[in-house]
Amino acid sequence: MAEEIERKFLVTGDAWRGLAAPTYLCQGYLSVDPHRTVRVRLTDNEAWLTVKGLSHEATRLEFEYEIQKSDAREMLDVLCLRPLLEKRRSRIPHAGLIWEVDEFLAENAGLIVAEVELASAEQHVEIPDWAGKEVTGEARYYNSSLLKNPYSRWRESV
């Protein structure tokens, strides 16, 4: 069984910038059913198809498969729900873990979140100074939720 355990935080300030070179990601969803999401992701060098199960706090099933870039581009262009998600991802090492900081673009511009994958839900995490409020399990911060309710349309402050 493939299991993903991750915690997610809002990013505060700019101290994280410059700690790693960002990579541009474009991703789209074939399914955003809460019990199963199916995502296509494309970078300059690689492409993946990912199936995720229902989240239970910080844990969910995840299956990820590398696919041909041309297949990913066609799925993004023809099959995926709109809008596509665009972001710059920086992979930043901190205290023995890799933090992925996603700076969203387009309709989700202004939203910056950091995720860290863990070996177990009980694993101790040293949180960097630039990681603010924890939003693990808050559905509106799920990438798949940002399709239906992009950050630019949020009325309340975060």
The H-or-E segment that residue 60 falls in is strand 59-66
Catalytic residue, chosen from 24, 29, 65, 151, is: 29
Task: Give domain status of residue 18, yes or no.
Answer: yes
Task: Give domain status of residue 80, yes or no.
Answer: yes
Q: Can you tell me the distance from the alpha carbon of 63 to that of 51, in angstroms, rounded to the nearest whole number?
A: 5
Task: Give domain status of residue 66, yes or no.
Answer: yes
Task: Give domain status of residue 158, yes or no.
Answer: no
Token couple for 48: 């993946």
24 noted as active-site residue: no
Q: How many CA atoms lie within 13 A of 62 on its CB side?
A: 15
pTM above 0.85, yes or no: yes
CATH number for the domain spanning 69: value is 2.40.320.10
Token couple for 146: 């940002």
pLDDT tens per residue, range 28-58: 999 999 899 999 999 999 999 999 998 777 7
**How high is the mean pLDDT of the chain?**
93
In percent, the amount of the chain with pLDDT more than 70 equals 97
User: Residue 57 gets which letter from DSSP?
Assistant: T
Domain range for residue 147?
Answer: 3-153
Task: Give domain status of residue 33, yes or no.
Answer: yes
Count of structural domains, the chain: 1
